[in-house]
Amino acid sequence: MFQFSVVNQWIDEFLRTYLSEGWTLLVEFVLVALLVLTAYAVLALLLIYIERKICAFFQCRIGPNRVGPFGILQSVADMIKILLKEIIRINKVDPFLFRLACFLVIIASLCTFGALPFDGGLHAIDFNIGVFYLLAVSSLGVVGILLAGWSSNNKYTMIGAMRSGAQLISYELSCGLSLLSIVILSGTMQLSQIVEQQSDLWFIFKGHVPAFIAFVIYLIAGHAETNRGPFDLPEAESELTAGYHTEYSGIQFGFFYLAEYLNMFIIAAIAATMFLGGWMPLHIPGWDRINEIMDYIPPVIWFFGKTFFCVFMALWVRWAFPRLRIDQLLALEWKILLPIGLINILLMTLLVIL
C-alpha cells in the first residue's frame, strides 16, 4: 500500500537541501496549516452539498440543480453570499464575548480536525495521547456555544445554549466510554498505532460484541454531539428561532454553520478510525487473494469511504426520526446509554484479559 509518509520524507529532504533547520520547520508548518485549512473549507462545502442531495432523496425531490452541473456549485455560491453579507450590530450584547464565541467554536473544530489520520503519514499531528486530545479539544466547543447564548442578551439564545450545554456534556460521557473500550482493546491512545493494529482485521470484528456495542453507542452519542436532528433541541426552529446563534449574521453565523458540518465529518472520521480500521483496507484472515485486491485501493479512498458511510447513516437518522423532547433526550443518555457503556467497558476488559 502507498502511504504519504514517503511524500512527507521527500518534501522534508528537498527543503533541507536549500534551507536551514529553522526555515525548513517554518515552511513545513505553513504548508501543513494551509493544507488543513483548505481541506477544512472544501470538506464543509462538499458536506453541505451532500446533505442537500440526500435530504432531497429522502423527500422525493431533486435538490440543488441550477448552479453548475447537478447543482454542484450551489454551495460555493452560498459561501460567497455569506461572505458578502452584512454583520448586523446587536444592541445590549457583550461585544467581546459575542465575537469570541464564534471563534472558539471554529477553533475547537479545527484543532480536532487537524489530529485526524487520513493516511499513513497524512496527519498534521500524531500525539501518543491522541484519543485523549480529541476528547479534550472537541469539548471546548461547548464553551463557545454557552458564551454565544449568554452574551447575545436574548432569552431564546440563552435557552438554546443551556440546552446545548446539558446535551453536549451528557453525551460526551458516552462518547468517551465508547472510545475507552477501543483504548482498552488496543492498549494505546495513539491514533496511528490504533489504525495499524487493525491491519489484519478491524476492531469492530476483532473486538466481538463489546466493540459492536461501543460502535453503536458512539454513533448515537456522536450524532447527539453535533446538535442535529433528532437531537437538535438547541436549534429547535419551531421553539427557539435559531437557538444559540439567533443574533449572529454574516461570517459570524458562517463560523457556526461551518463548524456544525465539520463536526459531523469529525465524528464520522473518528468512528472510522477507531472501529473501522481508518485507512486500512478490509483484510479477512485466510483470504489472501481478496486481501491483495483490497490493497490496490488507495488508503485515502478507504478512509473517506468509511467516513462518508458514517455520514450517510447520520443523515439517514436525521431525516427519518422526529425531534425528541429535552427530557427524552437526557433520559436516553443517563438511563440507557451510560449504564450500557459502563457495563460494556467491563465486558471489553474481561475480553482482553481472557
Q: Is residue 219 within 8 Å of residue 268, measured between CB atoms?
A: no
- Domain residues of the chain, as ranges? 89-353
What's the distance, CA 5 to chain centroid? 24
* Cis, peptide link before residue 230, omega less than 30° from 0: yes
pLDDT at 305 over 80: yes
Looking at the chain, the whole-number percentage of residues with pLDDT higher than 90 is 30
Q: Which DSSP symbol is given to 69?
A: G
pLDDT at 271 over 90: yes
For residue 280 the three cell numbers come to 486500512
pLDDT at 266 over 70: yes
Q: What is the pLDDT of residue 265?
A: 93
Calculate the average pLDDT of the chain.
Answer: 87
Contacts of 296 (CB under 8 A, 6+ apart): none
Q: What is the pLDDT of residue 238?
A: 63
Judged by DSSP in three states, 263 sits in helix
Cα separation, 79 vs 102, in Å, equals: 17
Cα separation, 53 vs 184, in Å, equals: 39
Query: Greater confidence, 270 or 159?
Result: 270
pLDDT average, residue stretch 286-306: 87
Q: E strand or H helix at 160, and its extent? A: helix 155-186
pLDDT at 125 over 90: no
User: Phi/psi of residue 111, each to 5°?
Assistant: -65, -35
pLDDT at 165 over 70: yes
Contacts of 42 (CB under 8 A, 6+ apart): none
pLDDT at 23 over 90: no
pLDDT average, residue stretch 298-312: 92
Question: Rounded to the nearest 5 degrees, what angle is found at the Cα of 67, between the Cα atoms of 66 and 70?
Answer: 65
pLDDT at 229 over 70: yes
Cα separation, 70 vs 341, in Å, equals: 43
CA distance to 18, 37, 205, 251, 254, per residue, from 84 (Å): 42, 20, 49, 8, 11
pLDDT in tens, 43-69: 989 999 999 999 898 888 888 888 888
> Helix and strand tally (H, E) in the chain?
16, 0
Please choose, from the candidates 87, 109, 88, 110, the residue with its C-alpha nearest in 3D space to the C-alpha of residue 33. Answer: 110
237 band by pLDDT with thresholds 50, 70 and 90: low
pLDDT average, residue stretch 228-249: 74
- Measured between alpha carbons, how far apart are the two ends of the chain, in Å? 33
pLDDT at 322 over 90: no
pLDDT in tens, 188-226: 999 989 998 988 889 999 888 999 999 999 999 998 888
Q: What is the pLDDT of residue 194?
A: 93
Q: What is the pLDDT of residue 141?
A: 85
Cα separation, 252 vs 225, in Å, equals: 21
Q: Which DSSP symbol is given to 234?
A: G
User: Phi/psi of residue 93, each to 5°?
Assistant: -100, 165
What's the distance, CA 166 to chain centroid? 19
Q: What is the pLDDT of residue 327?
A: 84
Question: Rounded to the nearest 5 degrees, what angle is found at the Cα of 102, between the Cα atoms of 98 and 104?
Answer: 105
Q: What is the pLDDT of residue 234?
A: 67
pLDDT at 343 over 90: yes
Question: Rounded to the nearest 5 degrees, what angle is found at the Cα of 113, between the Cα atoms of 309 and 127?
Answer: 110
Cα separation, 213 vs 207, in Å, equals: 10
pLDDT at 182 over 90: yes
Please choose, from the candidates 146, 109, 142, 149, the residue with its C-alpha nearest in 3D space to the C-alpha of residue 246. Answer: 149
Q: What is the pLDDT of residue 185?
A: 93
Question: Cell numbers 443551556 label which residue?
Answer: 162
